[in-house]
Amino acid sequence: MNYRSNLEKCLSERQFAITAEIGPPKGSDAKKIRDKAEFLRGSADAFNITDNQTAVVRMSSFAGCVILLQMNMEPIMQMTCRDRNRIGLQSDVLGAAALGVRNILCLTGDHQSFGNHPAAKGVFDIDSIQLLQIIKNMQDAGIFQSGDPLLAGRPSVYLGAAANPYADPFEAQVDRLWKKIDVGAEFIQTQSIYNVEKFSRWMDDVRSQGLDKRVHILAGITPLKSVKMAERMKFHVPGTDVPDVVFQRMKNAIDPEKEGYAIALETIRELKLLSGIHGIHITALFWEEIIPVLVKDAGLTTRI
């Protein structure tokens, strides 16, 4: 079997995959992202390079991915629909594929009002589902969104999307997952999970529709580093569910960092037991140095 990426190979061969997020720097210093990547080498099967996450300007995901490729590491290029229209997005898909990017995660993107340029005009020409469909068609049918043919090479990329098991309205989120799979998503990375019970109910829904057979789901993990972070996740980050019991554990802890780490480890262990979960996606906000330890302690292995 000819796999497009290492991530595709891991997931297709039913190995429990690990992906980890790397946020590019707020500046042009390539060393910054190289150092982060070097530190995480071997800790994940592929690395998500974020696309101006929370609408804060950073080095582009495209450039970050190329830097990782130069280091012989595998990036997942995140693409949001906030800053580019269908022309810009398709052009970057071609460019990234030409330079060796083999995984793309399609997102609609955080609204510009959350970032450091709230006066910006958001594009939102298309949404994540339409972006998936467009890239799928470029790849399989050799056509652009307009129907115009690609003339010199089709991009060969493993396509991913995000899912939020905690979002309102609940039924809409399974609908959206189904749509994402239908238009071409091959792997799914979920929102950070703190409420395993509610997540497992969502997975019941996912399994009952057979969706876990059609896509590889990687469950999101974001270790809580402080009480302040737990507060932010619980009260201010849209679509995140930090249950009271987890929040209390953080608040009562003598060493919140240690407690947050313990919670993350327990969550991974519980998630590994859930049927239909094929991997873990780690987003360690301002705490990337924890990833190698967490992966090791959770008994996860990578195949690089």
Partner 1 sequence: MIITKQKNFDDLLRILENDPVFLIGCSECATLCHTGGKDEILAMKEALEKRKIPVSGYVVLDPACHLQNNKRMLKEYAKELENINKILVFSCGNGVQTIAELFTEKEVLTGTDTLFLGEISHVNEFKKRCTLCGECLLDLFGGLCPVSQCPKSMLNGPCGGSFQGLCEISPQVECVWDRIYQVLKKQGNLQTLSVIQKPKDWSKAGEMKRRI
| Contact residues: partner 1, CB under 8 A | 81-82, 86, 108-109, 111, 113, 122, 124-127, 129-130, 133-134, 145, 164, 166-169, 171-173, 175-176, 178-179, 182-183, 191, 238-239
Please report how close the Cβ of residue 248 comes to partner 1 at its closest, in angstroms.
Answer: 21
Nearer of residues 140 and 175 to partner 1, judged by Cβ: 175
Please report how close the Cβ of residue 36 comes to partner 1 at its closest, in angstroms.
Answer: 27
Nearer of residues 35 and 182 to partner 1, judged by Cβ: 182
Angle at 93 between CA 178 and CA 240, to 5 degrees: 45
Nearer of residues 174 and 265 to partner 1, judged by Cβ: 174
Count Cβ neighbours within 10 Å for each residue of 257-281 and write b for 16 or more, e otherwise: bebbbebbbebbebbeebebbbbbb
Nearer of residues 118 and 142 to partner 1, judged by Cβ: 118
Please report how close the Cβ of residue 37 comes to partner 1 at its closest, in angstroms.
Answer: 29
Nearer of residues 166 and 199 to partner 1, judged by Cβ: 166
Please report how close the Cβ of residue 301 comes to partner 1 at its closest, in angstroms.
Answer: 31
